[in-house]
Each structure stands twice: as C-alpha cells, then as structure tokens.
Amino acid sequence: MSIVKLSMRLVTSALLRAAPAALALGAVVLAWEAYALFSGISPTTLPAPSRVVTQAWEHRLALLDNMLPTLAATTIGFVYSLLAAFAFSVLVDFIPPIRRGLFPVLIVSQTLPLVAIAPLVVLWFGFGLGPKIGLVALVAFFPMLVALVQGYAATDRDIEALLASMGAGRLRVFLLARLPSSLPYFFAGIRISITYAVVGAIFAEYAGAAKGLGIYILNAKNNFRPDLVLAAVLVSSALTLMLFGIVVLVQRLVMPWDRLERRSP
C-alpha cells in the first residue's frame, strides 16, 4: 500500500470518527459567532470566529513566518528527546540499578514548572534556537522513557523462555523480543510527547524569542489584538494535529501487525 493511499484512508476514517466532536465544536463556534455579533461586545475583548479566520488569512505570511521557528524547535527538540529516551531506556533495561538512581532525578525534572524555567533558560542561554530545543526535549523526554521501560517489561515470558532455549543471549533477547514488544507502548508515549513538545516550544518562545508563535502571541496580546492571539492558537493547534497525524501514520507503517492483533479475538 502506498503512503499516499494509506494517509488518505487514515484521514477519511479519522474524519468519520471525529464527526460528533466536529458537530459539537461547530455548535460552539456558531454560538460564539452569534454572541459576538449581537451582544455588542468589543472585538478587542472577544473577536468573532469569523474575524479570527479572516485576520488569520490576512496575516498568513507573518503567521507562517512565526510558525516555522516553532516547528523547527518542536521537531528538533523532539528528535533529541526521542534519541535520549531510547538511549536511557536501553541503559535502564540492561543495568537495573541505574533505574533506581535515575528515575527520582528524572521525576524531579518533570516537576519543574516550565513557566519558571523557560525565562531562566533564556536568560542563561539567550534568544536562539538552542535553549528552545533544550526545553522541548526536557518536556517530551519523560513520557517516552516511561513508555519504553514499561514496554520492555511487558514482554511475553514465554517468548523470552523460548529464546533462551534457543541459546539467545541478553542482547539477542532485547533486540528480538523486548524492543518489538515495547513498540505499542512507545508510540503511545510518543503521541503524548509530541503534543507536549509543541506546548513546550511555544512556552519557551513566550519567555523570549526573535520569532515564533509564542512571541507572536505575546506581541499580539500586548497590542490588544485577541483576534491575532486566537489566530496563532489556531495555527498551533493545526501544527499539533499535523504532527500527531504523522506519528499515527508512522505507527501504522512500522507496526502493520498491530491492527490485526486488535481485530482478532
């Protein structure tokens, strides 16, 4: 099956499944539009959805220009994070004491409020892309690590016993059984992480950046343009959905057996 055909099928089935949610969302948007139109509320307080969309279109070049750095920080940070999570998971799997030493530290790293560390990181490392990548990697790391470690542990004991009877060593067992067993868990972790990553990038930019959706939102707010704030939110949502969709597509390609498993009794 070609990737194009597969993505088309995925999109169609996603749209069908999303129909009730889309209807509910549509109702909210309509009510909002009506309220903004008839209540006489000022557009600098609550802009109508139609205004958000037309303004988004009018400022499309600026929005695109600010979306690209966010996309870059998100994807680069996410990739680093994924590589680090995988490396640590392997370490933890082969040397269990590391888990006891490392996990408490990592859990503490997850409790740091982004609102507080983002400005500090910008203060220490500047306005460039580097610190943003670092922040994204920090927020995206943990869900993937936990998912991987959990996935290794979920390996079928019978399969491990079988491999042992065949004479497979620890590394073989990891590559042939533990790693593939962890894939469904890993992808579940990736789905969480990729959404965290976008939020992390926007937060990092909000704390200081030359360009990016985060700083765009901040400027629009300071200029009393809630319509442009919402336009940027729209763009970031679309970005998240797109990245999420790519993850789902990759999962389908990497794990073609997964759907068969779930379909069979």
What are the residues binding another protein (CB under 8 A)?
156, 158-159, 161-168, 172, 176-177, 180, 183, 255-257, 260-261, 263-264
Name the residue nearer to another protein (CB basis): 158 or 222.
158
Name the residue nearer to another protein (CB basis): 68 or 161.
161
CB 44, CB 230: distance < 8 Å: no
Cβ-proximal residues to 49 (8 Å cutoff; 6+ apart), any chain: 29, 32, 33, 36
Name the residue nearer to another protein (CB basis): 104 or 256.
256
CB 131, CB 204: distance < 8 Å: yes
Nearest distance, CB of residue 171 and another protein, angstroms: 12
How many Cα neighbours within 13 Å face the side chain of 237?
6
CB 190, CB 247: distance < 8 Å: yes
Name the residue nearer to another protein (CB basis): 177 or 198.
177
The runs of H, that is alpha helices, within 42-178 are 49-58, 60-94, 96-111, 114-125, 129-153, 157-165, 170-173
Name the residue nearer to another protein (CB basis): 101 or 256.
256
Nearest distance, CB of residue 219 and another protein, angstroms: 49
Nearest distance, CB of residue 262 and another protein, angstroms: 9
Nearest distance, CB of residue 235 and another protein, angstroms: 37
CB 181, CB 156: distance < 8 Å: yes
Name the residue nearer to another protein (CB basis): 222 or 264.
264
Instruction: List C-alpha distances in Å: 253 to 10, 159, 168, 187.
Output: 12, 24, 28, 12
Nearest distance, CB of residue 175 and another protein, angstroms: 11
- 159: which 2 tokens? 């399969």
Nearest distance, CB of residue 207 and another protein, angstroms: 42
